[in-house]
Amino acid sequence: MNQLGEKIAKKRTALGMTQTEFAEKLNVTRQTVGRWETGTVMPDIDKIGDIAEMLGVSCDYLLKDSVTEETSTGTALSRLLKSAEGKNVRLNFYEDEADIDLFNKDCTITAFEGNWMKVQVETKKGTVEKLIPVASVLSLELLKEED
């Protein structure tokens, strides 16, 4: 088994997924997943991103033997959002994704996980916590902390 295959198998089993379940989610056969894991064949390049996302790892982790799970920290975007946890930010949304409670307001990212972030904002109704999809955010401005 090559390292890519070992990494796929290790993460898949750690998530409690069978080869069949994993294959169905990726629209491939169970035999294809088995071949990836034994190193008989490599996944198509267009499947690597889907595999990484499903396993909760970076493409670097899957493709580079030198990258271990401990040093793999996800995409640049996920590292940026993770570093913004607990900080005051102003979020700008895509026009069709605008959130009235967060429009032109300072808020705090209280948690980030994969494709979602939890933000806290003060409104006229008091403190509101919202779970928003990362894909709806056009830009993020880190605000200076008051001394």
What is the predicted pLDDT for the residue at 145?
A: 73
What is the predicted pLDDT for the residue at 59?
A: 83
Q: What is the DSSP letter of 134?
A: G
Neighbours of 81 (CB within 10 A): 20
Strands 88-93 and 126-133: unpaired
Q: For the chain, which residues make up each domain, given as ranges?
A: 3-74, 77-142
Task: Name the amino acid, one letter, at 71.
Answer: T
Which among 77, 10, 4 is positioned nearest to 47, based on CA atoms?
4
Q: Regarding the domain delimited by 3-74, which CATH topology (the fold level of the hierarchy) does it fall under? A: 434 Repressor (Amino-terminal Domain) (1.10.260)
What pLDDT band is residue 23 in, cutting at 50, 70 and 90? very high
Does the structural domain 77-142 have CATH classification 2.30.30.100? yes
What is the predicted pLDDT for the residue at 2?
A: 61
Give dist(CA 118, CA 132) in Å, integer. 6
